[in-house]
Chains A and B, each alone.
Chain A
Amino acid sequence: QKEVEQNSGPLSVPEGAIASLNCTYSDRGSQSFFWYRQYSGKSPELIMFIYSNGDKEDGRFTAQLNKASQYVSLLIRDSQPSDSATYLCAVNPSGTYKYIFGTGTRLKVLA
């Protein structure tokens, strides 16, 4: 079992719809969770981080964390073609300061 798992996609949604991206992790003691966006040929850039169970909203983005079920998700409301990218989930395993990344989910927003 990989430490951080994501569906590779592609996930295709129409413009204006809600895109839902999911991530599961294996280390139950993980404390910090991050969502990065990576455009093709570019470096990852942070979208959001979440530490506590529940929802965290920032503009069109909402991160959701459920530590009991060991999953974290990212919702993108009113999806735009410019949101088309690969979304990487990163987890900070307990007792360490490293980030482990999932392989990413490719999102396509269709105009």
Chain B
Amino acid sequence: DAGVIQSPRHEVTEMGQEVTLRCKPISGHDYLFWYRQTMMQGLELLVYFNNKAVMDDSGMPKDRFSAKMPNASFSTLKIQPSEPRDSAVYFCASRWANTEAFFGQGTRLTVV
């Protein structure tokens, strides 16, 4: 398996634009997590899914962020409108049951 695959690897956008981050989890994994990492806050959990259903999105700013998992092999995290404070590295991770989580390579987002 190729591991967790995220795209794009880097994204630079202007404030106010819509940004969509994509993630393909490891096949067979039933949990998918979206994290945001900054120097100040570390790894923050934004949202996680179990079998495509949202289990907890309490860490996600609801007014501008949305996350979807339309099928078991694909998830998106959308930011609209984007703001400079959204600049961070966004990681997607997946796991099976209560085992270890595997992380993708991350998307470095810069909002100017």
Contact = CB atoms under 8 A, between A and B. Distances in A.
Interface of A: 32, 34, 42-46, 49, 88, 90, 92, 96-104
7 contacts: A43-B105, A44-B43, A88-B42, A98-B33, A99-B45, A102-B42, A104-B42
A32 B45 CA distance: 17
Contacts of B50: 97
Contacts of B104: 43
Interface in B71-110: 91, 98, 100-106
A28 to B, nearest CB: 19
B100 A88 contact: no
A92 B100 CA distance: 11
Interface of B: 31, 33, 35, 41-43, 45, 48, 50, 55-56, 91, 98, 100-106
B98 A97 contact: yes
Given A34-B100, A43-B106, A101 B42 contact: yes
Given A44-B43, A88-B43, A98 B48 contact: yes
Contacts of B105: 42-43
Contacts of A103: 41-43
Given A43-B91, A88-B43, A99 B103 contact: no
B56 A99 contact: no
Contacts of B91: 43-44
Given A103-B41, A104-B42, 15 more contacts: A32-B98, A34-B100, A34-B101, A43-B106, A44-B91, A44-B103, A46-B100, A46-B102, A88-B42, A90-B101, A97-B31, A97-B50, A97-B98, A98-B45, A102-B42
